[in-house]
Homo-oligomer: A and B are copies of this chain.
Amino acid sequence: MWIETKTEVEEASRSRAGFSRRVLDGLMLCTGDMEHLDTYIQEKWFVLQLAVWGLRGVARVILANNPLSGALILAALYWASPWQGLLGTLGVLASTLTAVIVGQDSGDVAGGLHGFNGMLVALLMGVFSSAGDWYWWLLLPVCLGSAACVFLSSGLTTLLDHWDLPAAVFPFNIIIVLYLLCTGTNSPYFPHDPVTPPGAVEPNDTALIAVEVIRGIPLGVGQIYATGALGPSLLILGAVVLYSPLLGIHAVLGSAVGTLAGLSMAVRHDSLYSGLSGFNGALGCMAVGGLFFTFSWRTHLFAIASAFLSAYSDIALSNLLGTVGLPACSWAATLIATLMLLLTGSLAGYRIPIGQVKAPECNLRSRSQWEAGNTEERESTDV
């Protein structure tokens, strides 16, 4: 009997282990780049494909490449403001469709590489508009601006390809600045408020509230999607952790570094509380810590340096662009991440060629195989 019981217990435990393994496997299928999904949807309807491409595009904003993360983020945006959610959805669809129409590389389109700039343009147009929510005329510039991102994205990729650099969010930054310059503060059709630079003197100099500053750190992750509410910001952070826990840690770390930099430069309290001080640091930290470079303690230190550089550059650019009432958006993080990708010396050894960038955990795993096989390719891209 004992033997049988043992076998039963073993079997039960095995089936339990099998179940939890299956759950884990199922969970594992939802993390990382989810490449298996691409083969699955290949022969499905165009609408389903477009949805997956769009969701990948949504997640790409925060450097993730996972449609489930994208869905979570989109949910967070609708939660924060249904109007912003709608604009974001429209933006990502408009630019992805434009990319299909103007004949961009289908691999890029499927990877969501043509969606994230359009989405950001749409979100920021909504945030800066002073005409209030549900101002339907705004859909016109949202569609056109998102579509224009595809042109910039394609052109910049050709330009930067020589150094194996991505176009990143340069198209978004250019288009949103052009849009805000075009309309101006007194436009009769698309009015927007001028932006206050972080270095501006505050009317009444109150003491800094520590808990609000700490609350600004997770908000910094949400500010990547121009969301200033805590719940949606945490959901967005969750979406990043789903894609890659390592990236999630760097996001929070970068946002904290950005807040620290903001404190050291005595920026407006508002900037710290809303997370606006943190989001460039977060982006700069995420780009270096694991995504474009294999993770190691050295890369980690460089990621912190990148976060500091991004945060200080953001304060500087915000003060500069603030003199003409413009926001600095994510110019700082984009420029610093590009600089980091160009760096020679010890960091360059960890560099992953742009075409082979995957989730940080995946990068870490595949490094040894890749190192053996693609040495000659690396050399040719390093010219």
Q: Report whether A340 and B155 are in contact in the complex, using a CB–CB cutoff of 8 Å.
A: yes
Given A151-B339, A155-B339: A347 and B102 interface contact (C-beta under 8 Å)? yes
* Nearest chain B residue, comparing its CB with the CB of A188: B266
Q: Which of B102, B264, B319 contacts A345 (CB 8 A)?
A: B102
Given A159-B163, A163-B159, A347-B102: A182 and B340 interface contact (C-beta under 8 Å)? no
Contact partners of A184 in chain B: CB under 8 A:
199, 319
Q: A201 within 8 Å of B by Cβ?
A: yes
How many whole Å from A326's CB to the nearest CB in chain B?
A: 8
Contact stretch, chosen from A228-236, A246-254, A308-316 = A308-316
How many whole Å from A168's CB to the nearest CB in chain B?
A: 15
Given A105-B344, A188-B266, A264-B189: A316 and B151 interface contact (C-beta under 8 Å)? no
155-170 of chain A: CB within 8 A of chain B:
155-159, 162-163
Q: A104 within 8 Å of B by Cβ?
A: yes
How many whole Å from A102's CB to the nearest CB in chain B?
A: 5
Total interface residues on A, CB under 8 Å, equals: 54
104-137 of chain A: CB within 8 A of chain B:
104-105
Q: A276 within 8 Å of B by Cβ?
A: no
Q: A49 within 8 Å of B by Cβ?
A: no
Q: Which of B103, B177, B343 contacts A158 (CB 8 A)?
A: B343
A interface residues with partner B (beta carbon < 8 Å):
102-105, 144, 148, 151-152, 154-159, 162-163, 177-179, 181-184, 186-189, 199, 201, 264-266, 305, 308-309, 312-313, 315-317, 319-320, 323-324, 338-340, 342-347, 383
